[in-house]
A and B are shown apart, each in its own frame.
Chain A
Amino acid sequence: EAGVAQSPRYKIIEKRQSVAFWCNPISGHATLYWYQQILGQGPKLLIQFQNNGVVDDSQLPKDRFSAERLKGVDSTLKIQPAKLEDSAVYLCASRDAREDTQYFGPGTRLTVL
């Protein structure tokens, strides 16, 4: 079974630029999560989707971050404009509705200069 796929793996941008990350969850997983992991910390939930609907985006900085999950499969997370403090690893995870276990992708490491 293929795991969660993410791209790109690395991205370097300058502040005030825009960036987008892509995630393809495990086939059949209805629930998809985006996390932000700042160096030295545990992952922090940004947004949770159930199929193509948002379940929880209470910790998403909506003035600059947006996410969508069209057709309930792939998802994109966008930052516009980026700030220095957005430098982090962005992790995507998915979960089967019948389980409590989340499966993580390899992450995208973003560096904002």
Chain B
Amino acid sequence: GNSVTQMEGPVTLSEEAFLTINCTYTATGYPSLFWYVQYPGEGLQLLLKATKADDKGSNKGFEATYRKETTSFHLEKGSVQVSDSAVYFCGCWGSARQLTFGSGTQLTVLP
């Protein structure tokens, strides 16, 4: 089956710092890749996605590029804000038509 490995947290950054959260996946074929964000006490919200190699997903200043050669989908943001503090989950939708998640990365942004 599919698997997703995420950078372990927690990650603590100062406001306006650069963010990278690493994500690699194992899947057969050509999976779709996702980043979801979970704010405290809430469900998962779709942040961005990419459905084929070299696609770049972007939303709210966050970006991630689907790299098939390295089986990666790293999340980046150039300048984080306090409001970005949340847990971020990388997900892989593969041939089994199921969404497999990583273990999540807790991000805290300090003012």
A contact residues vs B (CB 8 Å cutoff): 4, 6, 33, 40-45, 48, 56, 91, 93, 100-107, 109
Contact = CB atoms under 8 A, between A and B. Distances in A.
A108 to B, nearest CB: 10
Given A40-B104, A101-B49, A45 B43 contact: no
B22 interface: no
Interface of B: 4, 32, 34, 36, 41-46, 49, 51, 89, 93, 98-99, 101-104
20 contacts: A33-B99, A40-B103, A41-B103, A42-B4, A43-B101, A44-B101, A48-B98, A56-B98, A91-B43, A100-B49, A100-B51, A100-B93, A101-B34, A101-B46, A101-B49, A102-B46, A102-B99, A103-B46, A104-B45, A107-B43
Nearest to A103: B46
Contacts of A107: 42-43
Nearest to A92: B43
Contacts, number: 45
A98 B27 CA distance: 21
A43 B34 contact: no
Contact of B32 (A42, A44, A100, A104): A100
**Nearest 8 CB-CB pairings of A with B:** A42-B101, A104-B43, A104-B44, A106-B43, A100-B32, A107-B43, A100-B93, A42-B103
A48 B93 CA distance: 14
A56 B101 CA distance: 17
